[in-house]
């Protein structure tokens, strides 16, 4: 069991009311190495905002990590994108793209790994053929993915597209 600052970690499905929290976690993902964007700036960029806009859409699924007080610590979620409106880690319209982030003060204690495991399980249960994502050069998050079987399948700019094949 992973412990947070306030007791054991709890994982639960992401609901419609979590949309503002997912927006904050999207910001953490885009600002992974430095403060590049404010939230309003990020959400004004269609190619970024479409990871969360209208949450939840048909086919979306996600997991939220909370501490014992119900405070959000991080989230992982997956969304399908059509070929003419891809995310940064697109491989196929039938393979959802994964977004993962943990609040900055809570990293390095297993929250991200637990979220990733739960999301992969949810993808398997949903019958997804796989999951994909984009990881920029230098992001240590890459190790989390590779330890779970994600492999590089493409490259765009300074980022690799990683994908995990599932049985669905």
Ligand X SMILES: CC(C)(COP(=O)(O)OP(=O)(O)OC[C@H]1O[C@@H](n2cnc3c(N)ncnc32)[C@H](O)[C@@H]1OP(=O)(O)O)[C@@H](O)C(=O)NCCC(=O)NCCS
Q: Does 130 bind ligand X (CB under 6 A)?
A: no
Q: Does 37 bind ligand X (CB under 6 A)?
A: no
Edge-first strand order for the sheet with 72-79 is 10-13, 61-66, 72-79, 97-102, 130-136, 159-165, 151-156
Please name the residue that has the structure tokens 């190790």: 143
Q: How far is the CB of 109 from ligand X (least distance, A)?
A: 5
Please name the residue that has the structure tokens 């859409």: 57
Q: Does 163 bind ligand X (CB under 6 A)?
A: no
Q: Does 28 bind ligand X (CB under 6 A)?
A: yes
Q: How far is the CB of 13 from ligand X (least distance, A)?
A: 18
Q: How far is the CB of 51 from ligand X (least distance, A)?
A: 11
Q: Does 139 bind ligand X (CB under 6 A)?
A: yes
Span near ligand X by CB under 6 A; candidates 37-45, 80-88, 103-111, 150-158? 103-111
């Amino acid at each position: 069991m992973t412990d947070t600052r306030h007791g054991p970690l709890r994982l639960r499905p992401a609901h419609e009311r979590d949309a503002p929290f997912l927006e904050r976690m999207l910001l953490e993902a885009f600002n992974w190495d430095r403060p590049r964007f404010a939230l309003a700036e990020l959400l004004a960029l269609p190619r970024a905002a479409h990871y969360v806009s209208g949450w939840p859409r048909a086919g979306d699924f996600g997991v939220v990590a909370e501490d014992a007080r119900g405070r959000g610590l991080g989230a992982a979620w997956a969304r399908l994108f059509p070929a003419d409106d891809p995310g940064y880690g697109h491989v196929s319209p039938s393979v959802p793209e994964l977004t993962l982030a943990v609040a900055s003060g809570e990293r390095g204690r297993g929250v991200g790994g637990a979220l990733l495991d739960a999301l992969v399980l949810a993808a398997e249960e949903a019958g997804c053929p796989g999951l994909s994502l984009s990881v920029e050069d230098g992001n240590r998050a890459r190790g989390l993915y590779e330890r779970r079987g994600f492999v590089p399948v493409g490259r765009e700019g300074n980022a690799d597209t990683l994908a995990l094949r599932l049985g669905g």
